[in-house]
Amino acid sequence: MKQLLVFFFLHIVSSFQVSSQPFTVDDLLTLSTLTAKNIDQFMNKNGFTTKNKIPFNDLTSTSFIEKRKKNKKDTLTIRSIDFYKKEYSKYFILHTTSVNEYIEGKKRIIKSGFSYADKVDINRASSILFLKKNITIEAIPGIQDGIPLYTFLLKKKELPLPATIQHAEDLLNFDSHEYLVGFFGAANVKKDYYYFSEKEIIKCSVLFGNTSRQAVFIWNDEDNYSQLSYVLISNIIHTLSAKKFDGIIGINEWEL
């Protein structure tokens, strides 16, 4: 009987601790998977209340603010969530005044499999862009009204329907290496180097390399392989992997 009571007590304490946890980056990722109907319920369950809703043309914005509890130990940290939809993307924004939550949040993003620029020091960079398939998260430190405010801006872009990617110009929809991976699969998209000349070499992404459907994506942001500059369509491409390929490639099948 005593063991049963102890178990019951620990279960109650454990449940209280779980419900008392602050809203984290993991919760933000979970939020991005929910339908609009379930977002309010999820936020209320996590201790947030709706601050305002603003519908305007194709933009619907909702703000949530954390409920203040009298018996809450942490009375200094302020958290809020913004959510809005614009065209084919959804945006989920977590604001916190806790630097520890900001530091831990960046670690959790990396642990979740997001990529980021190789040369970036996550502890010193002013802002960091994390990418994973059709989701990007930008970690931004700042100050509002003299108070430190740390932001995680999550953007989830809809993947196009396969039927809509038929011609060369359709490839312009892909604005990052990770977005290409999300649609075409990791086996079909590889990071590479493109040779404009012997002295001018830039990072690029190659879709269906060394095949008749190959395409090269040149990025404005080489470090993150994002922000599309242009797409090269040809059966002959000057990449590092192509130099090592000695096979024959037919006429490129991507048509305008």
Could you report the per-residue pLDDT of 100-111, keeping only the tens digit for each?
999 999 999 999
Give the residue from 99, 68, 96 showing the smallest Cα distance to 82.
96
Residue 208 has pLDDT above 80, yes or no: yes
pLDDT of residue 10: 39
pLDDT of residue 32: 96
> How many CB atoms are closer than 10 A to CB 192?
18
Distance, in Å, from the CA atom of 100 to the CA atom of 77, rounded to the nearest integer, reads 10
Give the residue from 125, 139, 241, 256 showing the smallest Cα distance to 190.
241
H helix or E strand, kind and range, residue 108: helix 99-111
pLDDT of residue 61: 86
Partners of 151 in beta bridges: 95, 140
pLDDT band at 37 (very low <50, low <70, confident <90, very high): confident
CA dihedral 18, 22, 25, 29 (to 10 degrees): 60
pLDDT band at 1 (very low <50, low <70, confident <90, very high): very low
pLDDT band at 237 (very low <50, low <70, confident <90, very high): very high
State both tokens at 71: 């018996």
Give the residue from 46, 40, 43 showing the smallest Cα distance to 18.
46
| Residues 112-134: b if buried by 16+ CB within 10 A, e if exposed | eebbbbeeeeeeeeeebbbbbbb
Residue 14 has pLDDT above 80, yes or no: no
pLDDT of residue 166: 95
CA dihedral 33, 34, 39, 45 (to 10 degrees): -80
pLDDT of residue 55: 64
pLDDT of residue 114: 97
pLDDT band at 54 (very low <50, low <70, confident <90, very high): low
Partners of 186 in beta bridges: none
pTM of this structure: 0.86
Average pLDDT over residues 17-34: 82
Partners of 231 in beta bridges: 217
pLDDT of residue 78: 92
Average pLDDT over residues 158-181: 97
**Could you give phi then psi for residue 60, rounded to 5 degrees?**
-120, 115
pLDDT band at 203 (very low <50, low <70, confident <90, very high): very high
| Residues 198-229: b if buried by 16+ CB within 10 A, e if exposed | eeeeebbbbbbbbeeebbbbbbeeeebbbebe
Give the residue from 133, 106, 134 showing the smallest Cα distance to 120.
106
pLDDT of residue 58: 60
Distance, in Å, from the CA atom of 32 to the CA atom of 157, rounded to the nearest integer, reads 10
pLDDT of residue 6: 39
What is the number of alpha carbons within 13 Å of residue 39 lying toward its C-beta? 23
What is the average pLDDT value for the chain, to the nearest integer? Answer: 88
Distance, in Å, from the CA atom of 234 to the CA atom of 96, rounded to the nearest integer, reads 48
